[in-house]
């Protein structure tokens, strides 16, 4: 379609402007400089035309008539008068109606100063009220969940929050109740608004009816300073606005990045700033003294001790773990220090819970927009996006529910997307590749676990049809389905999909903040910055770096095993809480104990950090300038808004200081330096510079290119013994992770986990729900609390990772392909 | 056939509805079975010709049935008076399935014709549904009955079971290829669900709130997003007669523009209130209010003060409009609407301010709360009127009332001509800032009463007359 066919000419207040065919009148007017007041209209939700304040006089050839501009699509020749007497009177009248029962508590209302009702009343409303009766009264704010409060007196019933809950989040737990002037928004009795996304309703509320606990009564909008930044809670890279007052961050708001989060945030992304602001943050370096206790020391002593440990050490006996939460610039500095100065390749930002870096980087990659393309096909071969990547879940849900995308799910347990899936194949650990082959008509006709051959083929047929000629994109969402399953099983299944679907693309679901930056910047074994292998890339770094590692190093799990075996003299932990995050707790413990000197850079004194010998306090994302890379490879800006606690320093600066004490100038004195140097050594990053990034603030800049597809050898999966249960370990949105645990609003939301079974499996155990049984696994016998769960598939047992109740890390053996548990008879 | 009282024992608070039907002289197109005590049973229905119209229809091609209905100019009886045969033609080509939804959520104050049609002759309605489904090629009909109509629900359910058992509903009706399922659905007590898109929302299990227009007709996008024909109970009840006797015979009754008969519910201060089957267009308001064959005049020989010609939503008429025919077109031009056929008569003893308040109260209470002007405006109107009735009105309140009304329904509001003042009529319908006509309906009593009886409002404001501090709802007070 040419531009001419797509655009129509409309007349707004006598001025002719061009609008897109089908564009809503209210949007076309705003785009061309005429603001029409609105409350219910929200660009990311379906129009409802309820508040009626956007009425304008429109003539479509049948004479001027008042029409809601949020419902009206532009058509050619439309005459709009936003300033006519009838328009003004209608808008005036609606504002008066909205105000008659609205309390005048603006002086104590959090919204005062940034309130659309206040602003639009000033601009469009009547000067004074003619309402002399008693206003409507409700109990002042009632909690609708742990963090969100609802003041029904202030509510103007615009349907934004309720629409968000049902239409966007899919958690229809707040509703209109009552009718007429007694209409109110409320939850069902005894059923709180338990949604991972409830904070968005606070942000989109056009009045002060919904407020969030972390910000209530903390500041007035005119006292806030703000800067746009990127969320580093997970790898979606949601754009946020960081707002602070008096050098303290008080609020994160979602920013509408069209390619990423559409303005939405998960509550975890929204409220995590409480952890950055927590009083337990490390502000001083610590060092283990002669008494064996960690004690505060100056930076000079701490850096000297760390440098002493690192100088003259055999590169093969140094390892660096973590770094997935660092900025790209800090990752580059640490990559340069570890690989270019120390010369070790025992570097891994993933902690045994990810996928092989070369494999991810070698696959054809999709953006979020490509994955969520209307009428596309989405294959989920990974974790539950609702639990791990909240903002991405909202985009995926929108694609499937509203944009006609088809979802096919291969997962060992029902996910948040299961209700919308065309086919939900319940795949037991280790069997994903077999199921993929069955989908495309290969293999026998026997069911694979609980997946029947008919079901698998029906799902495969959908993909084949889509790939063949229907011009629909096929995207595989790829990540670890279960932490109790070797990554190789997912790799095999992904390769099987790759080989059978033409033009398939992959979207990585690796979850940790800037893990994709770490992959791109060489904080993984075998790679150098710029998605290049050690040998292929060596020449590029010959000038910029003093050295490069001679041979490929160990990944995190192998490093920990080596440390346990006494082969690691210095272990550097870049914000890596290995005791909590490495799936195999026993291995993590042994590795940490067996390592020589442990140097930890972190925000908090986690149990892991408490075992270190030198502790260097690092800055949080709100205190750091730089960039991060999201799961698409999209680089966007992280901006410093407040000063760090004590003398905490950015990670890149610590790398520079350490290098200097080792006699090497890294050549970096600012994040911009790191980015500039990166551009010279990495062609894929060459187009990034502070200017281009600033110009593309909101949408960021994609990094393309890199490795060829690698094909790891297929894994041999042991067959499933009918008397055992194959262990599935997944994560939930809130866990005992150090940041969640230090966010007041989120800490209490982490569930208590149990080992759960499919209900008939559970019945056969002969124990009551909540009772204990003893199971035998690769790590010996463990007593666990058990229960039934209809989301679990037969023959498997499920537990959440890093939660109270059952310690999943004590059941997992990192060396095993799958973990089978047997019940020990009483 | 179980008696209703066995299902709703007296102790449960249910009372069988009053008879309410007056068998006046005249053509009986839809009430012919009403006088029988057992009119609602299948036996009586079959003995008096029920399902004959259906058999006639089944003998024709569906298109011929549709043509017959179009030819009969059967006007919708729900209020808007849109020709049913034309509405049936609005379904988009090639989109299936389609549904027939029967609007039995009759809630307009003063109207109870559909209730009697369901209580007294459920088989006639079922037959009408089947004819409509046959004409349109539908196989699924939803019959939505107002929640409060316990007896109608019970008799419809029993009749439907009998009709299924007798082979009139279900698979292969009357041994033909024609199959239809009729599903009953009870409302939960909301006036607004009488609005067809709100009814569809309610049927889908959502809150009964009107949908945005366009699309203007559910025939395009209706129930479950599919083309849906929504017809009123009385509209469908006319179909058996039309199919049995033909469109030409139907057009022998009533006027050319409004053929056939209509049921009028006449209430208020008349000698003989009730439901009357009246030939449209050729009968006047004076005939039905004063005629011996109808209401037999005002009680006690009192003078007429005002009357509502078409349910609580309609602007009021007065003496001058008595000679208007019961013809939708003429009534609209005169500034009101024939609506659902509910005439409420007020004699000279009526306190119009209280009457006005009572009607506004109804709309304030029944506002669904979806759009701002109706949700806030109707209850504000009520609060102002309450203040005036209580003797706390301010002189500015009268203009305020009119202006609040203007913000719900902008521009000149439909009103009847006033001969003495030389004021002209403003024709129906009103404009609206709201989504549906409920809000603007609340303006009708205010503009009607204020324009004609402003002095009575002023008397209350200046405390010269009629001040009572209300302790009980206005409606329960005995007339003076």
Q: What is the CATH number of the domain that holds A411?
A: 3.40.228.10
Query: Residue written as tokens 């309450």?
Result: B386
- B318 near B452, Cβ under 8 Å? yes
Domain assignment present for A496: yes
Euclidean distance between CA atoms A104 and B316, whole angstroms:
39
- What pLDDT sits at residue B480? 43
Together in a domain, A8 and A58: yes
- Minimum Cα–Cα distance from A49: chain B residue: B212
B139 in A contact zone (CB under 8 Å): no
Give contacts of A183 with chain B, Cβ < 8 Å.
368-369, 375
Tell me what the mean pLDDT of segment B17-46 comes to.
88
Residue A73, pLDDT above cutoff 90: yes
Question: Across the interface, which of A55, A66, A97 has its CB nearest the CB of B377?
Answer: A97
Element (DSSP H or E) covering residue A658: helix A651-661
Say which CATH number the domain at A636 has.
3.40.50.740
User: Does A180 sit within 8 Å of B365, measured CB to CB?
Assistant: yes
Together in a domain, B340 and B363: no
What are the two backbone dihedrals, phi and then psi, of residue A399, each rounded to the nearest 5 degrees? -60, -40
- What pLDDT sits at residue B8? 39
- What pLDDT sits at residue B464? 67
Tell me what the mean pLDDT of segment B60-64 comes to.
96
Say which CATH number the domain at B126 has.
3.40.50.11540
- What pLDDT sits at residue A125? 84
- B263 near B238, Cβ under 8 Å? no
Together in a domain, B285 and B231: no
Domain that holds residue A22: 3-99
Say which CATH number the domain at A782 has.
2.40.40.20
Question: Across the interface, which of A68, A93, A183 has its CB nearest the CB of B369?
Answer: A183
Burial of A695 (0-12, 13-18, 19+ CB in 10 A): exposed
Domain assignment present for A195: no
User: Does A65 sit within 8 Å of B372, measured CB to CB?
Assistant: no
Domain that holds residue B56: 27-250
- B78 near B232, Cβ under 8 Å? yes
- What pLDDT sits at residue A469? 66
Domain assignment present for B403: yes
Euclidean distance between CA atoms A350 and A364, whole angstroms:
21
User: Does A51 sit within 8 Å of B207, measured CB to CB?
Assistant: no
Together in a domain, A545 and A424: no
Say which CATH number the domain at B298 has.
3.10.20.600
User: 326-385 in B: which are within 8 Å (CB) of A?
Assistant: 364-373, 375-380, 383
User: Does B378 sit within 8 Å of A55, measured CB to CB?
Assistant: no
The residue ranking higher by pLDDT, B1 or B479, is: B479
The residue ranking higher by pLDDT, A409 or B19, is: A409
Identify the residue among B365, B375, B438 best suited for mutation to test binding to A, counting A beta carbons within 10 A and taking the highest.
B375
Together in a domain, A301 and A375: no
Closest by alpha carbon to A94, among A36, A135, A147, A23? Answer: A36
Together in a domain, B274 and B341: yes
Tell me what the mean pLDDT of segment B330-355 comes to.
94
Distance in Å, alpha carbon of A176 to nearest chain B alpha carbon: 8
Identify the residue among B208, B372, B382 best suited for mutation to test binding to A, counting A beta carbons within 10 A and taking the highest.
B372
Radius of gyration of chain A (CA): 28
How many other β-carbons are positioned within 10 Å of the β-carbon of residue A63?
A: 8
- B288 near B278, Cβ under 8 Å? yes
Domain assignment present for A45: yes
User: Does B369 sit within 8 Å of A182, measured CB to CB?
Assistant: yes
Domain assignment present for B142: yes
Tell me what the mean pLDDT of segment A200-209 comes to.
97
Together in a domain, B122 and B211: yes
A780 in B contact zone (CB under 8 Å): no
Least confident of A105-109, A695-699, A733-737: A695-699
Give residues with Cβ within 8 angstroms of A774, minimum separation 6: A781, A782, A783, A784, A823, A824, A826
Together in a domain, A324 and A380: no
User: Does A180 sit within 8 Å of B379, measured CB to CB?
Assistant: yes
User: Does B433 sit within 8 Å of A94, measured CB to CB?
Assistant: yes
- B222 near B241, Cβ under 8 Å? no
Domain assignment present for A569: yes
User: Does A90 sit within 8 Å of B410, measured CB to CB?
Assistant: yes
- What pLDDT sits at residue A6? 78
Domain assignment present for A140: no
Query: Where among A456, A490, A508 does a domain terminate?
Result: A508
User: Does B367 sit within 8 Å of A181, measured CB to CB?
Assistant: yes
- A259 near A623, Cβ under 8 Å? no
User: Does A71 sit within 8 Å of B212, measured CB to CB?
Assistant: yes
- What pLDDT sits at residue B7? 38
Least confident of A162-176, B8-22, B128-142, B347-361: B8-22
- What pLDDT sits at residue B215? 79
A684 in B contact zone (CB under 8 Å): no
Together in a domain, A534 and A678: yes
Together in a domain, B70 and B197: yes
- A623 near A609, Cβ under 8 Å? no
Query: Where among A46, A65, A99 does a domain terminate?
Result: A99
Distance in Å, alpha carbon of A262 to nearest chain B alpha carbon: 26
Euclidean distance between CA atoms B63 and B53, whole angstroms:
16
pTM for the model stands at: 0.92
Together in a domain, A371 and A500: yes
Together in a domain, B414 and B338: no
Domain assignment present for B19: no
User: Does B434 sit within 8 Å of A52, measured CB to CB?
Assistant: yes
Together in a domain, B124 and B219: yes
Together in a domain, A385 and A464: yes
Together in a domain, A551 and A689: yes
A174 in B contact zone (CB under 8 Å): no
Euclidean distance between CA atoms A242 and A262, whole angstroms:
16
B402 in A contact zone (CB under 8 Å): no
Together in a domain, B391 and B458: yes
Identify the residue among B365, B371, B386 best suited for mutation to test binding to A, counting A beta carbons within 10 A and taking the highest.
B371
- What pLDDT sits at residue B318? 95
Together in a domain, B275 and B230: no
Tokens, residue A604: 């908090």
Identify the residue among A22, A47, A65, A93 best suited for mutation to test binding to B, counting B beta carbons within 10 A and taking the highest.
A93
Together in a domain, B240 and B381: no
% of chain B residues with pLDDT over 90? 80
User: Does A66 sit within 8 Å of B433, measured CB to CB?
Assistant: yes
Give contacts of B411 with chain A, Cβ < 8 Å.
86
Together in a domain, A318 and A367: no
Domain assignment present for A254: no
Euclidean distance between CA atoms A26 and A37, whole angstroms:
9
% of chain A residues with pLDDT over 70? 99
Give contacts of A86 with chain B, Cβ < 8 Å.
410-411
Query: Where among B250, B281, B304 does a domain terminate?
Result: B250
- Minimum Cα–Cα distance from A185: chain B residue: B369
Domain assignment present for B256: no
Distance in Å, alpha carbon of A121 to nearest chain B alpha carbon: 15
- What pLDDT sits at residue A5? 63
Residue A691, pLDDT above cutoff 50: yes
Domain assignment present for B11: no
Query: Where among A54, A76, A99 does a domain terminate?
Result: A99
- What pLDDT sits at residue B5? 35
Distance in Å, alpha carbon of B351 to nearest chain A alpha carbon: 24
Give contacts of A157 with chain B, Cβ < 8 Å.
369, 372, 375
Q: Count structural domains, chain A.
A: 4
B2 in A contact zone (CB under 8 Å): no
B32 in A contact zone (CB under 8 Å): no
Give contacts of A97 with chain B, Cβ < 8 Å.
372-373, 375-377, 380, 407
ipTM: 0.90
Identify the residue among A26, A37, A50, A52 best suited for mutation to test binding to B, counting B beta carbons within 10 A and taking the highest.
A52
C-alpha neighbours within 13 Å on the C-beta side of residue A407:
28
Distance in Å, alpha carbon of B63 to nearest chain A alpha carbon: 34
Distance in Å, alpha carbon of B209 to nearest chain A alpha carbon: 10
Domain assignment present for A278: no
Euclidean distance between CA atoms A245 and A804, whole angstroms:
35
Residue B474, pLDDT above cutoff 50: no
- Minimum Cα–Cα distance from A57: chain B residue: B433
Concatenated DSSP letters for A58-80? EESSS--EEEETTTPBP-TT-EE
Q: Which long-range contacts (CB under 8 A, 24 or more apart) does A550-554 make?
A: A550/A315, A550/A343, A551/A345, A552/A345, A552/A525, A552/A526, A553/A319, A553/A344, A553/A345, A553/A346, A553/A347, A553/A525, A553/A526, A554/A319, A554/A346, A554/A348, A554/A525
Query: Residue written as tokens 């099987």?
Result: A496
Least confident of A464-473, B176-185, B207-216, B370-379: A464-473
Query: Where among B323, B345, B367 does a domain terminate?
Result: B345
Together in a domain, B363 and B327: no
Tell me what the mean pLDDT of segment A349-360 comes to.
95
The residue ranking higher by pLDDT, A470 or A626, is: A626
User: Does B387 sit within 8 Å of A100, measured CB to CB?
Assistant: no
Distance in Å, alpha carbon of B129 to nearest chain A alpha carbon: 32
pLDDT tens-digit profile of A494-546?
Answer: 999 999 998 999 999 999 999 999 999 999 999 999 999 999 999 999 999 99
Domain assignment present for B55: yes
- What pLDDT sits at residue A128? 83
Together in a domain, B336 and B452: no
User: Does B376 sit within 8 Å of A98, measured CB to CB?
Assistant: yes
B407 in A contact zone (CB under 8 Å): yes
Together in a domain, A74 and A25: yes
Q: Is the peptide bond before A698 cis (omega within 30 degrees of 0)?
A: no
- Minimum Cα–Cα distance from A130: chain B residue: B400
Together in a domain, A680 and A531: yes
Whole-Å CA distances, B393 to B221, B355, B390: 47, 16, 8
Query: Where among B283, B313, B345 does a domain terminate?
Result: B345
User: Strand, helix or coil at A685?
Assistant: helix
Residue A147, pLDDT above cutoff 60: yes
Identify the residue among B204, B207, B370 best suited for mutation to test binding to A, counting A beta carbons within 10 A and taking the highest.
B370
Tell me what the mean pLDDT of segment B25-29 comes to.
92
Q: Count structural domains, chain B.
A: 3
- What pLDDT sits at residue B465? 61
Identify the residue among B189, B376, B390 best suited for mutation to test binding to A, counting A beta carbons within 10 A and taking the highest.
B376
Mean residue pLDDT of chain A comes to 94
Domain assignment present for B304: yes
Together in a domain, A328 and A452: no
Domain assignment present for A174: no
């Amino acid at each position: 379609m040419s531009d001419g066919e797509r655009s129509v000419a409309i007349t707004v207040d006598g001025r002719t402007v061009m609008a897109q065919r089908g564009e809503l009148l209210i949007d076309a007017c705003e785009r061309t400089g005429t603001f029409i007041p609105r409350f219910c209209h929200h660009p990311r939700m379906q129009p409802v035309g309820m508040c009626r304040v956007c009425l304008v006089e429109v003539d479509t050839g049948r004479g001027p008539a008042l029409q809601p501009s949020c419902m009206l699509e532009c058509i050619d020749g439309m005459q709009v008068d936003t300033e006519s007497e009838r328009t003004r009177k209608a808008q005036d009248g609606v504002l008066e109606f909205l105000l008659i029962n609205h309390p005048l508590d603006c002086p104590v209302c959090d919204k005062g100063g940034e309130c659309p009702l206040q602003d639009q009343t000033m601009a469009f409303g009547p000067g004074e009220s003619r309402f002399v009766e008693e206003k409507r009264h409700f109990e002042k704010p009632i909690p609708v969940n742990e963090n969100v409060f609802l003041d029904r007196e202030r509510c103007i019933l615009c349907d934004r929050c309720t629409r968000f809950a049902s239409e966007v989040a899919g958690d229809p737990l707040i509703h209109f109740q009552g009718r007429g002037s007694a209409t109110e928004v409320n939850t069902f009795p005894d059923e709180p608004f338990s949604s991972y996304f409830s904070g968005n309703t606070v942000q989109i509320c056009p009045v002060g009816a919904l407020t969030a606990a972390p910000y209530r009564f903390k500041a007035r909008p005119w006292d806030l300073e703000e800067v746009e930044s990127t969320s580093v809670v997970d790898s979606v890279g949601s754009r946020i606005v960081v707002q602070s007052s008096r050098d303290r961050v008080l609020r994160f708001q979602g920013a509408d990045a069209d390619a990423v989060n559409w303005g939405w945030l998960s509550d975890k992304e929204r409220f995590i700033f409480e952890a950055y602001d927590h009083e337990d943050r490390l502000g001083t370096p610590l060092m283990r003294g002669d008494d064996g206790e960690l004690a505060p020391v100056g930076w000079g002593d701490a850096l000297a001790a760390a440098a002493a440990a690192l100088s003259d050490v055999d590169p093969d006996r140094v390892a660096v773990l973590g770094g997935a939460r660092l900025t790209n610039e800090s990752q580059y500095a640490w990559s340069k220090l570890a690989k270019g100065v120390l010369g070790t390749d025992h570097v891994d930002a993933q902690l045994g819970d990810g996928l092989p870096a070369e494999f991810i980087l070698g696959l054809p990659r999709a953006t979020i927009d490509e994955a969520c393309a209307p009428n596309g096909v989405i294959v989920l071969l990974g974790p539950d996006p609702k639990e791990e990547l909240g903002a991405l879940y909202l985009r995926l849900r929108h694609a499937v529910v509203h944009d006609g995308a088809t979802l096919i799910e291969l997962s060992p347990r029902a996910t948040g997307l299961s209700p919308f899936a065309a086919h939900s194949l319940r795949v037991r650990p280790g069997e994903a590749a077999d199921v993929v082959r069955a989908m495309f008509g290969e293999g026998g006709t026997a069911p694979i676990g609980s997946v029947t051959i008919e079901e698998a083929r029906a799902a495969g047929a959908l993909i084949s049809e889509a790939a063949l000629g229907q011009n629909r994109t096929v995207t595989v969402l790829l990540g670890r389905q279960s932490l109790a399953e070797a990554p190789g099983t997912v790799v095999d299944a992904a390769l099987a999909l790759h080989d059978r679907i033409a033009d398939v693309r992959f979207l990585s679901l690796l979850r940790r903040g800037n893990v994709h930056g770490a992959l791109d910047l060489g904080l993984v074994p075998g790679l150098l910055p710029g998605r290049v292998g050690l040998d292929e890339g060596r020449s590029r770094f010959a000038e910029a770096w003093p050295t490069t590692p001679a041979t490929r190093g160990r990944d995190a799990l192998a490093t920990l095993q080596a440390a346990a075996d006494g082969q690691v003299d210095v272990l550097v932990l870049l914000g890596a809480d290995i005791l909590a995050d490495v799936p195999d707790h026993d291995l993590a413990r042994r590795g940490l104990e067996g390592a020589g000197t442990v140097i930890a850079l972190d925000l908090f004194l986690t149990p892991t950090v408490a075992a270190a010998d030198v502790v260097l306090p690092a800055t949080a994302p709100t205190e750091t300038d730089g960039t991060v890379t999201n799961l698409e490879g999209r680089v966007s800006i992280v901006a410093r808004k407040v000063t760090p606690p004590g003398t905490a320093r950015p990670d890149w600066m610590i790398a520079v200081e350490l290098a200097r004490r080792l006699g090497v100038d890294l050549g970096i004195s600012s994040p911009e330096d790191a980015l500039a140097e990166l551009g010279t050594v990495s062609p894929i990053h060459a187009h990034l510079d502070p200017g281009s990034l600033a110009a593309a603030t909101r949408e960021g800049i994609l990094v393309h290119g890199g490795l060829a597809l690698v094909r790891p050898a297929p894994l041999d999966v042991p067959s499933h013994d009918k008397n055992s249960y194959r262990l599935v370990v997944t994560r939930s949105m809130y866990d005992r992770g150090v940041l969640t645990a230090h966010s007041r609003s989120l800490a209490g939301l982490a569930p208590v986990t149990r080992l759960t079974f499919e209900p008939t499996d559970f019945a056969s155990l002969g124990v009551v729900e909540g009772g204990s049984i003893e199971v035998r696994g690769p790590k010996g016998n463990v007593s666990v609390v058990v229960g039934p769960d209809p989301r679990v598939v037969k023959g498997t047992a499920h537990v959440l990772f890093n939660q109270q109740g059952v310690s999943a890390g004590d059941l997992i053996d990192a060396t095993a392909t799958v973990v089978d548990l047997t019940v020990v008879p009483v | 056939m179980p008696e209703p009282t066995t299902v709703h024992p007296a102790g449960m608070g249910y009372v069988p509805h009053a008879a309410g039907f007056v068998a006046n002289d005249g053509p009986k197109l839809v009430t012919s079975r009403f006088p029988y005590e057992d009119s609602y049973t299948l036996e009586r229905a079959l003995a008096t010709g029920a399902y004959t119209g259906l058999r006639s229809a089944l003998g024709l091609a569906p298109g011929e049935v549709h043509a017959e209905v179009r030819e009969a100019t059967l006007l919708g009886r729900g209020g808007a008076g849109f020709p049913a045969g034309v509405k049936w033609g609005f379904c988009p080509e090639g989109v299936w399935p389609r549904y027939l939804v029967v609007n039995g959520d009759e809630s307009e104050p003063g109207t109870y014709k559909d209730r009697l049609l369901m209580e007294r002759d459920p088989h006639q309605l079922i037959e009408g549904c089947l004819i409509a489904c046959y004409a349109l090629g539908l196989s699924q009909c939803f019959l939505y009955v107002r929640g409060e109509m316990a007896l109608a629900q019970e008799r419809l359910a029993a009749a439907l079971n009998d009709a299924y058992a007798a082979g009139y509903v279900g698979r292969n009706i009357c041994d033909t290829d024609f199959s239809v399922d009729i599903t009953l659905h009870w409302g939960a007590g909301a006036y607004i669900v009488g609005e067809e898109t709100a009814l569809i929302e309610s049927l889908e299990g959502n809150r009964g709130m009107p949908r945005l227009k366009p699309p203007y007709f559910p025939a395009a996008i209706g129930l479950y997003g599919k083309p849906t024909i929504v017809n009123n109970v009385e509209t469908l009840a006319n179909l058996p007669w039309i199919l049995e006797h033909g469109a030409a015979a139907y057009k022998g009754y009533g006027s050319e523009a409004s053929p056939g008969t209509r049921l009028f519910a006449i209430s208020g201060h008349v000698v003989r209130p009730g439901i009357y089957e009246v030939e449209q267009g050729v009968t006047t308001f004076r005939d039905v209010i004063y005629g011996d064959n109808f209401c037999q005049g005002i009680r006690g020989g009192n003078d007429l003060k005002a009357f509502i010609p078409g349910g609580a939503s309609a602007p009021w008429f007065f003496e001058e409009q008595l000679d208007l025919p019961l013809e939708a077109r003429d009534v609209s031009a005169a500034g009101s609407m024939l609506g659902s056929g509910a005439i409420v008569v007020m004699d000279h003893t009526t306190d119009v301010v209280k009457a006005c308040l009572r009607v506004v109260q109804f709309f304030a209470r029944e506002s669904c709360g979806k759009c701002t002007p109706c949700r806030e405006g109707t209850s504000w109107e009520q609060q102002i009127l309450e203040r005036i009735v209580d003797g706390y009105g301010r002189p500015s309140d009268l203009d305020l009332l009119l202006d609040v009304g203007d913000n719900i329904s902008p521009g000149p509001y439909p009103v009847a001509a006033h001969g003495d003042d030389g004021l002209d009529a403003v024709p129906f319908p009103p404009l609206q800032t709201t989504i549906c006509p409920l809000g603007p309906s609340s303006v009708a009593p205010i503009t009607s009463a204020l324009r004609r009886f402003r002095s009575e409002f002023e008397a209350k404001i200046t405390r010269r007359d009629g001040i009572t501090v209300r302790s009980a709802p206005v409606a329960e007070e005995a007339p003076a």
